[in-house]
Structure 1
Amino acid sequence: MTDNQGTVSYIIVNNVGGITSVTGNLIRFRGQDAPSQELILLNVEGNSNTVFTHQLLEGINQKTYHFDKNRNWYTAFKELKNELAPGPGVIVSNDLHDLIMLQAFNTGKKVVQIVHDGYNVQLALKFEEVVDKFIAHSRFFFDVLSQLLPHRRSDIVHLPYGIPISGYQKTPNTDRPLRLIFLGRMRESKGIFDLPLIQKYLTEKGIQANWTFIGSGPDKQKLVDQWASYEPARFEAPDSFNEVIKLCSDADIFVFPTHFEGFPVSLLETMSVGVVPVVSDLPGGIREIVSESTGIRCKMGDPISFANAIETLHHDRVLMQTLSHNCLQLVRTNFNAECQSPKYQAFFASCMQENSAPRHMSINKKIGSRLDQPWLPDFITKNLRKFYGSATGKRVNDSV
């Protein structure tokens, strides 16, 4: 498809994490018939997460935009709008910033919001008037959104994403110490501070385990400090997907005591090489693919239940190998990016081809606070906010 038929524009916060992985796979495995693609990474001031400092994908137009929360919203969001490729197309929304922009600025492009989790459901409810179509990864969030927005039911689709399927596969472990792995962003909401407690209970049960932690984030050093009293563990932060998958293939069990999830990429990545998940029992993607035939779901915030599940697999290596085989087959059959990503691209293309005008073209709402005005010079707003602090107006995250 040529550029004059429209561009798919992805706007994401510059974080190393699941949304970035999903977006990267949508682009990388888009297929030959996909529309032109561009990626805008938002470097949000004050973001404590690890960011990309290099080209995420070769062969596409990739830009970065620095978003300063103290600026006049009208100036900042107008600049963001001007970063978009000219002409028709689709904006793929994953977070808050572009949705705020669309309330005040007409881009002439259709808008598709990807609903990853409960946070994105909140965004959909607040900003649905500027969104043309919704994609839910999981059946659970598809059903939730359909119930909450019944008048938009025809605009909501369920479409699982895919991941790259590698040639790696974990080797059976019949009698050696268990190889446990955590893969994810190193922050409290991922349940990382339950991990030392899980190891404590495993030690009390006399179960030897070798741990590998993969990821970065604001709470990583705190976890490293808490782990100091246990057996040495590997803390890794690989740069490439291939390195991540290679490390995963050297594990037996994916331990994921997360407190908040949609459809975690790390779950699919580990299962794709046969690593058995022991994960928090949360609605969404986890319950849809982690069943008695593929892994064990545990009560969230209960390290003892995680230790008990690991103990079960420790004593029943045949069961662990059976679950491993089922994991590998499930992901490779149903979540292959080479199959799923072109389906997304076909959906984006169909949105472009619809004759209806983008919904946000009929919306013109006031955004921000009294310090955010189309006529007010940006330097005045910025200096007032820096001088007086948050009392001078709402922040971006307050808009949800």
Structure 2
Amino acid sequence: MKNLVYILPDKDGGVASVVRNLLRFRTNRCKAKVVLIHNTMDDPLLRVQDEFNADEIIRINYNGKWSSKQGVMNKIKRHLDNNSILISNDGGIELEVVNNLNFTIPVVYIMHGDYDHYFNCINEQGHLIDTIITVSDYLMEKIESNFENKDTFSKIDVVSVKFPVPLTIDNDKEKVRAKIIRVAFVGALIEDKGVLLFKNILTQLTELKINFIFNIIGAGPLEEKLMKELQSFSNVNFKGKLTNQEVISLHSEHDILILPSYGEGLPVSIVEAMKCGVIPIATNLKSGIPELIEDGVTGYTVPLDEIEKYGKFIKYLDNNRDEMAVISHKCISKAESMFKPYIQTKAYEDVFINTKPHAFMKTKNYNLMNFLPFTLANRINNLKNIYGK
């Protein structure tokens, strides 16, 4: 029996949610293993807390200064055999380990977002990848136009598959609305998520005399800064980091989700909110959000330089509660039709199982730089880039 080996950073968020749901609704066709990789220099508050429905869960720790790439790869290698299908969710070390194996296995790369990191991995390590899965149609099209080595790209299968998201509420039960408008944010408290725009947005809502509460769900390095910035707003609640099930349960108390991000793929937080009838208002990023949000139908999108529109749309929904109920139901319907948990999980597993390794594309080589501590290796590489040697 094949063994699906999901490798991902030990950071909670959208990537972990996708893998969690793929395992929650898995079939019995394969075994499943999760390998979580953690840089001990990263914020421990961001680590994955709840477990995965896997046969085995491995946590690999390394130090981003003093460990070596080869040392990390050796730890990963121990959990791979010739029955493995490697499912990379980040790239980098977990892909390079393929060059260190004495056997050939299928390699699937899941592209979760419209970030340079993913495109750089694909261009630099595409020869190690057999199949790429993108979470949105836009990302699949963008890969095709951005892949630098057309010969390598022609040997890789690229497919777009929507990820599974569980049914979160009873669709026959009317969502209970309160007189106060209930707004939420779900995500890591980092700058890329647009959290430093909260003060501006909340000031708008206050000036528009909207009676609201704002629940901030998540943790991260900007939490303390945000608490200070928003301490004058008595209607702001920091809920901290919650489990996936706790977030879904809390959505029964929300009307609107805001996501003023600077970069996304196809946000799991929006899909989960929509399945709960929570209306999303998000940045109009091309990466996947337009596949979810049709303006005025299943939510609203906001240009990066027009954050005043958050207040405008929230005010409109607050004043038009019947319309808010209609949009809420359309959110549920769209999310349910696109993200069926068992169907989408089977679609992913079909891709995994049917991926064939392109053995001739893999090159077995050992780079002496991999044996150096990360700090020293990075300094040498920087000097090479400066002096062109």
Is the counterpart of residue 309 in structure 1 residue 313 in structure 2?
yes
8 Å contact kept, 2:212–2:235: no
Q: Aligned to 2:96, which of 90, 97, 100?
A: 100
Between the aligned partners of 2:368 and 2:50, the Cα distance in structure 1 is 32
Q: Aligned to 1:216, which of 194, 219, 230?
A: 219
Q: CA deviation at 1:124?
A: 1.1
Q: CA deviation at 1:20?
A: 0.5
8 Å contact kept, 1:213–1:236: yes
Between the aligned partners of 2:39 and 2:363, the Cα distance in structure 1 is 25
Between the aligned partners of 1:49 and 1:184, the Cα distance in structure 2 is 16
Tell me: CA distance 1:272–1:349, structure 2 relative to 1, closer, same or farther (3 Å).
same
Match of 1:216, SS?
coil
Amino acid of the residue matched to residue 229 of structure 1? Answer: S
Is the counterpart of residue 283 in structure 1 residue 281 in structure 2?
no
Between the aligned partners of 1:183 and 1:216, the Cα distance in structure 2 is 9
8 Å contact kept, 2:298–2:331: yes
Q: 1:259 — aligned with what?
A: 262
TM-score (norm. length: structure 2): 0.88
Between the aligned partners of 1:113 and 1:59, the Cα distance in structure 2 is 19
Amino acid of the residue matched to residue 122 of structure 2? Answer: A
Amino acid of the residue matched to residue 66 of structure 1? Answer: N
Tell me: CA distance 1:229–1:331, structure 2 relative to 1, closer, same or farther (3 Å).
same
Q: CA deviation at 1:393?
A: 5.4
Is the counterpart of residue 83 in structure 1 residue 113 in structure 2?
no
8 Å contact kept, 1:193–1:223: yes
8 Å contact kept, 1:295–1:323: yes
Deviations 1:92-120 (A, max 9, x none): 11112212323444552110000112332
Q: 1:377 — aligned with what?
A: none
8 Å contact kept, 2:164–2:342: yes
Between the aligned partners of 1:54 and 1:296, the Cα distance in structure 2 is 32
Q: 2:385 — aligned with what?
A: none
8 Å contact kept, 2:133–2:158: yes
8 Å contact kept, 2:72–2:93: no
Deviations 1:79-101 (A, max 9, x none): 221232x2222111111221232
Between the aligned partners of 1:233 and 1:92, the Cα distance in structure 2 is 39
Q: 1:7 — aligned with what?
A: 3
User: What count of residue pairs does the alignment treat as equivalent?
Assistant: 372
Amino acid of the residue matched to residue 274 of structure 2? Answer: M
Gaps of 5+ in 2: 383-389
Amino acid of the residue matched to residue 323 of structure 1? Answer: I
Match of 1:212, SS?
strand
Deviations 1:206-256 (A, max 9, x none): 112111111111211211111101123221135432211111121111111
Q: Aligned to 1:228, which of 227, 231, 251?
A: 231
Q: 1:35 — aligned with what?
A: 30
Tell me: CA distance 1:358–1:68, structure 2 relative to 1, closer, same or farther (3 Å).
farther
TM-score (norm. length: structure 1): 0.86
Tell me: CA distance 1:49–1:302, structure 2 relative to 1, closer, same or farther (3 Å).
farther
8 Å contact kept, 1:262–1:284: yes
Match of 1:83, SS?
coil
Tell me: CA distance 1:217–1:107, structure 2 relative to 1, closer, same or farther (3 Å).
farther
Q: CA deviation at 1:162?
A: 1.4
Between the aligned partners of 2:50 and 2:103, the Cα distance in structure 1 is 26
Between the aligned partners of 1:24 and 1:115, the Cα distance in structure 2 is 16
Cα RMSD (Å): 2.4
Gaps of 5+ in 1: 374-380, 395-400
Deviations 1:110-156 (A, max 9, x none): 10000112332222122110000000110000111122345535610
Q: Aligned to 1:141, which of 136, 139, 142?
A: 139
